[in-house]
Amino acid sequence: MVDHTTVLIAGAGPAGLVLANLLRAQGIDTLVVERATREQVQTRARAGFLGPNSARVLTEHGLGAGMLHKGWSHGVCAFRGEDGEFELDYSRLGTGEVHTVYPQQDLVTDLVAEYLARGGDIRFGATITGVDPHTATVRYRDERGEGVATGRFLAGCDGSNGVTRHAVPARRLRQDHGVSWLAVLVGAPQSMAAVTYAVHDDGFAGHMARSPEVTRYYLQVPPGDEPGRWPDDRIWAALDDRLRTGAFGQLKRGPVLERRIVRLRSEVGETFQHDRLFLAGDAASLISPSAAKGANLAILEAEVLATAFTAALRGDERPLAAYSRTCLPRVWRAQEFSRWMIDLLHPHGDDFQRALRRARLHSLRDCRAHQNFFAEHYVGI
């Protein structure tokens, strides 16, 4: 059995679901093929910081009701180091914009529901076993057996571990930053009013609110470390030490709901398209989580791609031909700032390098031009 559609989409993350919703709003037939179950897609905890452009896309296209109802604005971040703590109210710096905090699993749940309400079709639990970019075809396997789906165009939105990116024969530029984080999700309210970045000789620590009841913490760990080596007591001891709770107040504790290792690496394809296949989100470019850009890039690329597909189906293929050229400059700007954040937050090198890092923090604390640079790049893409 072969399923035919106009735009076939691999992956039901933010990129694939925003793209699918925007196309359905234009009356374009779509089919989404996703390897995870619906429950897995709607419960996996990921990033929760939406930039103003992402919030605009969601709101303008009728996809932001949940975000507007349950999300909240965030415009301050704090840095802790050996010289104390300082806050940056980035809502009053740079372009004067803020983030919207809304957990990605909640956004995905909203997008799935809206897509189905718009008449969309999702094949959950379908593992893609083959991709043909020349015929916009995927072969997949699900509980019913082997299946084939084909479209006029194929959008690869199945992430950095998906199969569609391997079907684009262009070179991919890669950077392993030599840094790993233990990502910890805790069932407790946030302990600080702001997102907090702690610079410590033992390694970076971070605090990010996800909801009124859940907080995300990050701990820098040695490359190759494993989550099982970090029992609860060791996690809290490291957080207390690196976040300097003796000086700034104790953390609100709760059960550890999730612990996983995140390796900070980046990867960008020289092009995001090949024949009838077009990549978006992490399938197109992987970015380290140090600056909260991944989901935001995915949403913006989905908007660009939806506009290009719509134009092509109406006879104008110029926006589709220019898709990679349109997206790559903002991807590289985001990559550059992500690398800047990595260098700022993580101890590395000799005493000279550590002194430079300390000087960067002092400049960020004291220099308005430096603060404006940070604010503009932290919020925007």
**Is residue 18 within 8 Å of 30, Cβ to Cβ?**
no
Check pLDDT > 90 for residue 353: no
The mean per-residue pLDDT over the stretch 111-121 comes to 97
The mean per-residue pLDDT over the stretch 360-374 comes to 95
Output the pLDDT for position 333: 96
What are the CA-CA distances from residue 72 to residues 69, 102, 217 (Å)? 8, 7, 19
Output the pLDDT for position 365: 96
Q: What is the pLDDT of residues 263-321, one digit of tens each?
A: 999 999 999 999 999 999 999 999 998 888 999 999 999 999 999 999 999 999 999 99
Kindly provide the residue ranges of all beta strands, DSSP E only, lying in 157-255, ordered along the sequence.
172-186, 195-198, 205-211, 214-221
- How many Cβ atoms are within 10 Å of 167's Cβ, its own excluded? 21
Output the pLDDT for position 97: 93
Query: What is the 8-class DSSP label of residue 263?
Result: E
Would residue 70 show up in a list of annotated catalytic residues for this protein? no
Cα–Cα distance, 156 to 281 (Å, whole number): 8
Confidence of residue 120 (pLDDT cuts 50, 70, 90): very high
Would residue 218 show up in a list of annotated catalytic residues for this protein? no
Q: Which of 115, 140, 197, 218 is catalytic?
A: 197
Tokens of 81: 């180091």
Instruction: Name residue 134's amino acid.
Output: H
**Is residue 295 within 8 Å of 14, Cβ to Cβ?**
yes
Q: In what order do the strands lie in the sheet with 72-74?
A: 49-50, 99-101, 72-74
Q: What is the pTM of this model?
A: 0.95
Q: Which residues pair with 145 in a beta bridge?
A: 142
Q: What is the pLDDT of residues 23-58, one digit of tens each?
A: 999 999 999 999 999 999 998 877 788 999 999 999
Confidence of residue 2 (pLDDT cuts 50, 70, 90): confident
Output the pLDDT for position 380: 85
Q: What is the pLDDT of residues 199-209, one digit of tens each?
A: 999 999 999 98
The mean per-residue pLDDT over the stretch 67-85 comes to 94
Chain-centre distance for alpha carbon 120: 24
Output the pLDDT for position 292: 85
Output the pLDDT for position 259: 95
Check pLDDT > 80 for residue 1: no
Q: Which of 74, 99, 177, 377 is catalytic?
A: 74
Check pLDDT > 90 for residue 348: no
Query: Which residue ranges make up each domain of the chain?
Result: 2-49+105-174+266-339
Q: Which of 14, 103, 133, 289 is catalytic?
A: 289
Would residue 289 show up in a list of annotated catalytic residues for this protein? yes
**What CATH number does the domain located at 2-49+105-174+266-339 have?**
3.50.50.60
**Is residue 152 within 8 Å of 180, Cβ to Cβ?**
no
Mean pLDDT of the chain: 94
Cα–Cα distance, 7 to 265 (Å, whole number): 31
Tokens of 52: 């103003």
Q: What is the pLDDT of residues 215-273, one digit of tens each?
A: 999 999 999 999 999 999 999 999 999 999 999 999 999 999 999 999 999 999 999 99
Would residue 74 show up in a list of annotated catalytic residues for this protein? yes
Would residue 378 show up in a list of annotated catalytic residues for this protein? yes
Check pLDDT > 90 for residue 329: yes
Output the pLDDT for position 210: 81
Confidence of residue 163 (pLDDT cuts 50, 70, 90): very high
Q: Which of 99, 293, 346, 377 is catalytic?
A: 293
Output the pLDDT for position 324: 98
